[in-house]
Structure 1
Amino acid sequence: MTIEQIYTGCLAQGAYYIVSGKEAVIIDPLRETKPYLDRLEKDEVKLKYIFETHFHADFVSGHLDLSRKTGAPIIYGPTANPDFEAIIATDGQIFEVGDIKIKVLHTPGHTMESSTFLLIDENGKETAIFSGDTLFLGDVGRPDLAQKAASMTQEELAGILYDSLQNKIMPLADDIIVYPAHGAGSACGKNMQKETVDTLGNQKKSNYALNQPNKEAFVKEVLDGLSAPPKYFGMNVAMNKGGYEDFDVIFKKGNHPLSPDDFEKVAEDSGALILDTRNAAEFHKGFVPNSINIGLQGDFAPWVGAMIVDVQQPLLLVSDSGSEEETITRLARVGFDNVIGYLKGSFPEWEKSGKEIDHVKRISAETFAAELSEHSKVIDVRNATEYAAEHVNEAYSRPLVEINEWAPSLKSEEHFYVHCAGGYRSMIAASILNSRGIRNFTEVEGGFGKIKETGVPKSNFVCQTKTLN
């Protein structure tokens, strides 16, 4: 028997490939199926089952495409009601794979169909759990995502999650290995560890959620401090539950190079959003007017999902040459299937064509420190907890995810500085503001990380009553 965790850092997501004898299973696969198909062929094994721990919200699973291409059935836990053919397992049902067994443990709470898969090895020993979003390392799955579908409050779901953990997970042996669906960086939890594998015994000791004295305390602690879920989560759940177009079709449609003239015409005719995935250092120096910058070399897919409201929004790409296919793939992983082409030759071709170019004013932290005065307005787009820990004295806390709420209150005649932690998020904000005609700002390169190295006055005093106007 072999167990392989296939971890995708940009989504903080773990899929699992398990082989015993000449049979294999895959748990929570990513959207693109080719890597799995290649691996199955290489290992000369048959995919027997595709296990889904629940209807995922933060990414589109590859279960449907993988099932179509291999014939392997999809398995969900009790109460799941997908709009496609699948095996809906009963609590405690066992599936044999080669010389091992996988037992379904129904563990509702994160969602009502959420299940944990218990692996029993060749010797009959309970060896590992694939806990999905029921149990993370250092945390548990947030219970506020399925309220509407379950017709329950988040408090009721949190109570159900407590019962699942206490009755199904805690009684298991301490030496069992925990393989979660996500790690640090995922929006599916709030306190996840950077490690991606641990023993259950260690989690019983270190995980705050497993160390609450009673259900009431658990509910309070698990719900405390939850930020609003990204807007695309509901749309991804709908795709995972209701079905989606074949990834190969999506990829072919998006992998369409366009000359500058054609790119410009398609943008005008389609109303597409121009998504520039180059890094901030390149973007600020020049870009196609009205482009939104979300760098590929960062938490790309989650930020696309957070900032672009509709997964059906037509997208035109400006990416570094050679990265177009990766960009289309990473967009499809979170359900953005409507890429209609990309700028051939990237931005240098646009420059050569002599077409209009826009830019963002960017300065170093040292220049920011020299220019800063008591009359300067500074907008910090980091999240609230980062801001509360330490920030530029008198800076406004305006998280990037809330830009639609605070941007309209900006005064066009008043200059301001904008920064984040390192420059990634502030350039997203800068590009959005710029596309809306708000240009009276300067973005700070290197963000608060570099600002801290200067003599700029800092504070951890939070005054949330400050208004932009």
Structure 2
Amino acid sequence: MKIQQFEDKYLSHYSYAILSECERKIILIDPSRNPEPYYEYARQEGAAITGVIETHSHADFVSCHLEIHRTTGAAIYVSRLMNAKFEHKTFDDGDLIELGKIKLHALNTPGHSNDSISILLEHDGKQKALFTGDTLFIGDVGRPDLRESQKNAAVLREELAKKMFRSLREKVMILNDNVVVYPAHGAGSLCGKSLSKANSSTIGREKVGNWALRDMTEDEFVKELISNQPFIPAYFPYDVELNMKGADNFGDSVPAVKLSQTQGEGCDRTAWVVDVRAEEIFKEGHLPYSVNIMEGEKFETWLGTIIRPDESFCLAGETAEQLNRMIRRTASIGYEKLIKKAFVITEGPLKNQKLPAIELKDDQEKYTIVDVRNASEVNEKKIFTNSISIPLPELRKRFTEIPVDKPIVVHCAAGYRSAAGSSILAAELQGKAEVYDLGEAISDFK
């Protein structure tokens, strides 16, 4: 038996291949959008992919389960509670998949969502591993509030939190302490609030180090779980629905986005230009209604936060190579079909400026300072006493709250979010006030 872990570092996502060495068969768990790494692993092992298990309908990435089924004939296993729209086999309490000496047991572990399952792996009759999806993370558990688009969301959130309390204690904590825990996410994921950087653990270690497994009442657990959760990107409900019906093939959908030879033509106020270039280059010249979401580790998260899934957008980059990379990354959250046009940008009529730290230090009252960090960051430490706090995910809706009688300075914690935030404000305000990005110079004020 072999267990292979795959990582998408941009979405802090882990997926898995379970190989039966005697039968040369593979079961995948929670695969990402691009199936090629799994095909390559199967080729290297001389094995066939015979099944795909989804621990739930994911909110933060799009899975390739349907594409793998179409390509290989592999069965897709999901909980009956997912209400999946594709051909599948139900996999719930009492259900079993046998693969040589491997037995995979389904455990219904609702809490993150009602359709959440965990998969217990036995080998040679011994409990070996638990694939926990978004139920148990290393150091944390899955948040219960990602179905916010549903009616009675607050009630549902508390109901799910109570289910999580019971799932952990009745299904997870009763397993042997030496069972290895393999989660679907690590540090950086918005599916929890305090995930560890570790990519695996054991039941025993989590009983000691994970806050959610300590001795407490249900009420104490619920209060802690639902408090101070991070924001919910706009694309999360969209991906839940897309995963429930199954996405188009990655290999067809990505090449369908063609690179245009004309810069900006057809991009107008009805479609934002998502400019992925470095902020220094962007500020030297860009198109109207551009938002600077730089190529970086959290591109997907901020793209799916700033651009809603009911919008289209143009994608601008420095080179064709960069654009091709970013189209593939856009597809990982199912946004490639929203791309109206993709093109290389070499110049633009608009410029933005960074504000030297010395100018802000000399006279802070001369400026309106906008803090686009998350509310939890501001509560922990406000950097400028008189700043206006509008988290970046809310900026497009709330920019009218910002007075325009003085120049505006935008800051975050390190410079990535302020590049996006300042570009949004400059586009929305259309010259009503000068907009500056403090950028990395924020470090001078901490």
What is the TM-score with the length of structure 2 in the denominator? 0.93
Q: For residue 322 of structure 1, give the secondary structure of its aligned residue in structure 2.
A: helix
Question: Counterpart of 2:277?
Answer: 278
Q: Distance in 1 between matches of 2:261 and 2:186?
A: 40
- One-letter amino acid of the counterpart of residue 210, structure 1: L
Contact 2:425 2:435 in 1 (8 A): no
Q: CA deviation at 1:51?
A: 0.7
Q: For residue 421 of structure 1, give the secondary structure of its aligned residue in structure 2.
A: coil
Question: Counterpart of 2:190?
Answer: 187
Q: Distance in 2 between matches of 1:412 and 1:376?
A: 10
* Sequence identity percentage: 33
Change (3 A) 1:340 1:395: closer
Q: Distance in 1 between matches of 2:318 and 2:106?
A: 43
Question: Counterpart of 2:122?
Answer: 120
Deviations 1:256-311 (A, max 9, x none): 22223xx433325x944321111222212222222211111230001111111125
1:259 aligns with 2:261: yes
Q: Distance in 2 between matches of 1:180 and 1:150?
A: 29
Structure 2 gap segments, 5+ residues each: none
Deviations 1:78-124 (A, max 9, x none): 42210111011230322112321111111112111100011112x22
Question: Counterpart of 2:327?
Answer: 328
- One-letter amino acid of the counterpart of residue 138, structure 2: L
Q: For residue 345 of structure 2, give the secondary structure of its aligned residue in structure 1.
A: helix
1:374-393 mapped onto 2 (5 Å cutoff): 374-390=365-381, 391-393=383-385
Q: CA deviation at 1:150?
A: 9.5
Question: Counterpart of 1:18?
Answer: 18
Question: Counterpart of 2:131?
Answer: 130
Is 387-396 or 160-169 further displaced after alignment? 387-396
1:413 aligns with 2:405: yes
Q: Distance in 2 between matches of 1:450 and 1:26?
A: 48
Q: CA deviation at 1:366?
A: 4.0
Is 310-319 or 414-423 further displaced after alignment? 310-319
Structure 1 gap segments, 5+ residues each: 453-469
Q: CA deviation at 1:77?
A: 2.4
Q: CA deviation at 1:443?
A: 0.9
Contact 2:368 2:403 in 1 (8 A): no
Q: For residue 325 of structure 2, give the secondary structure of its aligned residue in structure 1.
A: helix
Aligned length: 438
1:265-414 mapped onto 2 (5 Å cutoff): 265-268=265-268, 271-310=270-309, 313-338=312-337, 339-343=339-343, 346-348=344-346, 351=347, 356-370=348-362, 372-390=363-381, 391-414=383-406
Contact 1:279 1:295 in 2 (8 A): yes
Q: CA deviation at 1:240?
A: 0.4
Q: Distance in 1 between matches of 2:404 and 2:385?
A: 23
1:446 aligns with 2:445: no
Q: Distance in 2 between matches of 1:449 and 1:177?
A: 40
Superposition RMSD in Å: 2.0
Q: CA deviation at 1:386?
A: 1.7
Q: Distance in 2 between matches of 1:5 and 1:335?
A: 23
Q: For residue 266 of structure 1, give the secondary structure of its aligned residue in structure 2.
A: coil
Change (3 A) 1:5 1:319: farther
Q: Distance in 2 between matches of 1:319 and 1:95?
A: 48
Question: Counterpart of 1:430?
Answer: 422
Q: Distance in 1 between matches of 2:251 and 2:404?
A: 45
Contact 1:420 1:447 in 2 (8 A): no
Contact 2:111 2:144 in 1 (8 A): yes
**Match 1:39 to one of 38, 41, 44:** 41
Contact 1:230 1:306 in 2 (8 A): yes
Question: Counterpart of 2:210?
Answer: 207
